[in-house]
Structure formats: structure tokens, C-alpha cells
Structure 1
Amino acid sequence: MRPSTGTLTFRPDWENVVGPFLDFLTRHPGVDPTRVALLGVSLGGCLAPRAAAYEPRLAAVVALDGVSALTAHLPLPHDDAVRRAAAGHDEELDRMIADAREQSPTLRWACDHGRYVTGTSTDREFLAEYARYNLHDGSAEKITCPVLVCEATADLFYSVTEESDPRRLYRHVRAPKKLLSFTEEEGGDAHCHPGAVRLAVARVFDWLDDTI
């Protein structure tokens, strides 16, 4: 959601939003305040764990195919792409992004929508802004509630040569954790499992039943 001013409504420190929401939710007589879980999908799969790191009232958190990187379609290592995207001027990277847009409808949609949401004016500026939404600052290690990390084995947002965000999150979490991988045989190998939604949801709820 984006306000008319064009400013960003959710920021890398968006965990501050979850507290007031829980204040409201737990006042409802039908809510057990000790059994509230937070689920995030796609980018939310990175934002939800970040919120859990700073909100101890959550009983569990589910990261469904978290993605904080859009660099798999570029001919550069992730760290190099992020560093160069933040530079004030990089015509070579601009051309790489333009070429990648031509080849990838996914990247084209992500950049067009992302510029609108973040209020950035170029694809490179958007990539730099989007890269700030991550768990690389030690937030993952601060999570204390149980964590379910889901991944798609053929997720188009990740290069096969680099560690995916779900795998990186799982490696850094110190709390009780579980990793669920969805495969081609199950129809769930695509990002957020559109070919196996019922299976994915069932597994998430099974874990929540066992956990809280």
C-alpha cells in the first residue's frame, strides 16, 4: 500500500508496526494472546522474521519463500550487484538491468511495480532500496520463537550458484526451526508454490498445530 505522497509505507524497520497490531489483536476476546503466529509470503517471508526478532509476544513465525534479492537475473554476484546498485552512477549496470528486463518478465514486473511502491525513479535505485529489506544485520539471530522456513526448490528469484534467502535465514536462526522444501514432484517447486497451494497451506498448518 502506498500513500498519495509517494513515500514508502513499509520500511526495513517495519517491525515497529507489528507491536500496535498485536496490541489491538490481543484485546479481542476470541484471541489467545499466547498463540499468535505471524506468516509472511515472498518479501513478507523476510519481513515477518525481522518483525519476530523484535516482538517477543509472537508464539511462532512462518517465512514462506522469503525473497529480499532480485539479482539472480543479472550477470553479477549478488553482493557486487547490490554494491553497484547503490552507486550514484553506473551505466554498465543500467545496461545489464535493461538487458535482463528484456529477457525476464518476472524482473520486468518486479522493477516496474517496485519503483511505484518505493517511489524510486530508476530500476537501479529500486534494486538498491529493495536490497535494504534483509536479515543480514543480525536480526535472524535475535528471533526466540519457533520458525518455519519454506522454500521452493526451483525458485526463479535465486541463482543455483548462490545461497537463497530461505536457506540463509534457516542457517542464521538460533531458535527452534524447521525447513520445508517443496519439489517439482509435488508441484510446489515454483516461488510461493502456486502449483501446490493446498499442500503448502496444509503443511504450514500442520506445523502450527504441532508448535502452538
Structure 2
Amino acid sequence: MKLFFDDAEFDAQLQRTTAKVACRAADLGQVLSVAHRITPGDYASWYAQWFAEGRKEAELGRRESAYGHHHNAGEAWLRASEYFRCAYFFSRRYPQGAALVAAWRRCREAFRAAIPALPFAIEPVQIPWRHDIPLEGYVLHAGPSAALRAGGTTAPTVLMPCGYDSPVEEFYTLGGHEAALRGFNVVAFSGPGQAEMLHERGIPFRPDFEAVVGPVIDFVERAAQNDGRLDATRIAIVGRSFGGYLAPRAAAHEPRIGALAADPAQTDMGAVLAQRLPPDWLELLERGDPALNEKIWAAFPGIRGQEFWLARLRAHGLNTPLEYCQEMRRWTVDVEAIRCPAFVSYGEGDFAQATTEAFFQRLPNANKRLVVYRDATGSGGHCEGMGPAPYFSDLYGWLGDLWRS
């Protein structure tokens, strides 16, 4: 479904921001106004226009706050955060570059400025992880929900890891707000290869995401013991986009996870990548032949090709497309080891859902549900495009029923 741009990449990211209108993190008129000012296909124009819109909203937030209009200020800051995030999407080939880091830091600052005016209590947290390196995250405490709290004194806990390119602050608009409305507490966090870990520390992705989620659950357990505001006995993990690999990977190794949601579920990144390679490229990959690099760079010329490949290489701490293709073979999920109930979904036409239905069939727990969201209802595409409302209703309805039963 096209929104504005003929350029599929630009239109997909425009739709991503447009979907945030539902939780007041974007304004449809502003989004379309920015789109009209962008030179189609021009990454520099994309960055400049979204950055300018973010700066304008941040200034509005400061003025409204000075007037004592705290709700107005909070909404302006929330929009600023999203617009700054959108600005740097096509700058990820330089994950520590000045332009990306400037927009990413402003995205984080704006979200934190919005927190006091948001309808739920949210606190930034540093989750102990490895030596002196913490995981950045947020804890969102939901309001009262008697139905979900039946049988317990605290709302269930939903863990939300980032996706491939999401800052942790995006958790609020990608499901945190919807979870809280339905009475769930949320612990959102970024790990290696994501947000602060990548942009400031240069720490790349790692396939064993259970090594990240384990300390997060330790954090939840300590919080449950210390003040009782988090429930460590009812923990779900919800992964969207690249989180559709990260969450199942963690669930396969971490028995404290009581429920899994993956949208779309991804189980073998190397196999999916191999399906997209021409036979002669695949032969070079099998031999580990560096000639594959020349083939790929020739097929992906210019700044578009650089953005596509370098954004991925550098997020994984790699230097060549061959290294990336080899690395992806390590990214697998032992589906049969996932013992908890699971909600599995994808939007029709989602580029990342090649293994989702096979994943569902392999799940050993009979308490599982598969939902496909269709273009005809406005919910097709990656992460349900501009129509994620049915997904949120289905997921959190299923999760609520699970813990009430």
C-alpha cells in the first residue's frame, strides 16, 4: 500500500512514522508536510527535513513547558523524538557518524523530556549486563487493571527488545503504549548492535541473545523482591521486526520466559539470506571466495548499495559482504527447545517472514496461535504497516487470556 513516495524505501519509512499517529507520537499533517519537502530518493534531504521538524517540535516542547502547558509539551517532545529517529534511518552506514549520533541523542533526549507528561509512569534504567557495561532501557508501569491482576498483586511483565535499527525509546510507539493500556508492565532494553551499544560503544550484534535477556530477567527478579512493582512469575517477551529472531532465540534458552510473541518469527537468518542469492553467488559463498564481495558491490552501486550493506556490516562489526553472509549462518533458533506458549504473526508481504509459518509448525507447545494480517484490511506489510491496531488487540488479548486461565 503506497502512502506518498514512489520510492519503496522512503514510503516504507514514512508509513512507519505515520503509524505512530495512533499514540500521538506523530501528526498526520506534519508527516505529509515533511514528505512534500523531501527530494525523492535523496538521503541528505530526508535527514535535513526530518531533523528540522524534530528541532521545531523540541522548541515547541520547551515553550509549552515554560508556559506550564505540560501535556502540550509532552506531546511535542514525543513527536520530536519520533522525527529525530526517522531522520537518521538512512544514515546507518555510519553508525558512529556525527549526523546519526546527533539525531539519535536528540531522539533519546526528547523522549525523556516527554516522560513526565505521558499517561504512564516510565523510568529510565541501567540494567547490569557485563562488567561495567549496562543495558540501557526503560520500565513502564501500567495503571490499574483488575482483570489482569486476578490471581496476583502485580501486572504481568512484558520484555521488549529493540529491532534491527530501533532506538530503545521506540518501544513506546511499537507496543509499549498498547501493552500499558491493557494493564501490562513493560521492560524495554537495547542490547549489542543496537542504539547506545552500537552508536556510542561500538559493540556489535551477537547471535546468542539469551546472554542479553538473562540479565534482564535477573533485573526483573531483583525489582520484584525489592519493591514488588514487577512480576517475575509472569514474564513474556515480545519481539517485532528483527526482534522476531531475538525473542525466539532467548525463549529457546531461557526457561523463565512464560510466553513468547514473534512478529514475524525468524529462525535461520543464513538460510533466508541464501534463498535471495543467485546460484553463482551462493557457490562463491560456499567456497568462501572473496569474489563474492565484488559481485555484491557491482550489483549494489552508489549510496543506496552502501547504505544497505554497510548498515548491516557495521552493526555486526564486519568489513565485507562475504563476512556478513558467513556470519548469518550462526544466527539460528532451536525452535523445538521453545517450551512456552507462543503468539506468532506476520503481515502479508512482509519481507522478513520467510520462515514464520514453518517456525509455528515446529513449536512443541500446543498453546500457540498464528495470525496473518492482510493487505485487504490495511494491516499487511512489515510489522503490519500503518494498521497495527488489530495486532495489538490480538496479541494482548491472547496474553491476557493466557494469564487469566
The counterpart of 2:321, out of the listed 123, 129, 141, is 123
Larger relative contact order (CA 8 Å, sep ≥ 6): 1
Aligned residue in 1 for 2:238: 39
Do 1:74 and 1:100's aligned partners in 2 also have CA atoms closer than 8 Å? Answer: no
Conserved 8 A contact 1:140-1:173: yes
Deviation at 1:4, TM superposition (A): 6.0
Establish whether residue 166 from structure 1 lines up as the match of residue 356 from structure 2: yes
Determine the structure 2 residue equivalent to 1:200: 391
Structure 2 CA distance for aligned equivalents of residues 76 and 150 of structure 1: 30
State whether structure 2 residue 376 is matched by structure 1 residue 185: yes
Q: Which amino acid aligns with 2:331?
A: Y
- Is the 2:206–2:316 contact (alpha carbons within 8 Å) kept by the matching residues of 1? no
1:27 matched residue in structure 2: 222
Task: Tell me the number of residue pairs that the alignment of Structure 1 and Structure 2 aligns.
Answer: 197
Cα RMSD for the two superposed structures:
2.8
For the structure 1 residues 184 and 55, does the alpha-carbon distance in structure 2 shift closer, same or farther, using more than 3 Å as the test?
Answer: same
Tell me whether 1:156 sits opposite 2:347 in the alignment. no
CA distance in 2, matches of 1:33, 1:88: 45
User: Partner amino acid for 2:336?
Assistant: E
**Stretch of structure 1 that moved more, 55-64 or 197-206:** 197-206
Change over 3 Å in CA distance of 1:96–1:126 after alignment to 2: same
CA contact (8 A) 1:64 1:192 kept: yes
Tell me which amino acid in the other structure corresponds to 2:394: R
Residue by residue over 1:89-140, the C-alpha shift from the partner in whole angstroms, topping out at 9 and shown as x without a partner, is 242x4355335535xx6x86442211111111112222221332222xxx21
| Alignment-derived partner of residue 310 in structure 2 | 112
CA separation of 1:3 and 1:59: change in aligned 2, threshold 3 A? same
Q: Distance in 2 between matches of 1:142 and 1:53?
A: 5
User: Within 5 Å, which residues of 2 pair with 1:19-98?
Assistant: 19-28=214-223, 29-67=228-266, 68=269, 69-71=272-274, 73-76=276-279, 81=282, 84-85=284-285, 87-91=287-291, 93-98=292-297
The alpha-carbon distance between structure 1 residues 101 and 189, as it changes in their structure 2 partners (threshold 3 A), is: farther
- Deviations for 1:147-170, whole angstroms, at most 9, x for unmatched residues? 111122212246xxxxx1212211
Secondary structure of 2:262 counterpart: strand
Q: Is the 8 A contact 1:86 1:125 kept in 2?
A: no
TM-score relative to the length of structure 1: 0.79
Q: Identify if the C-alpha distance between structure 1 residues 116 and 191 changes in structure 2 by more than 3 Å, giving closer, same or farther.
A: same
Contact 2:265 2:356 in 1 (8 A): yes
Distance in 2 between the 1:88 and 1:122 partners?
12
What's the TM-score once normalised by structure 2's chain length?
Answer: 0.44
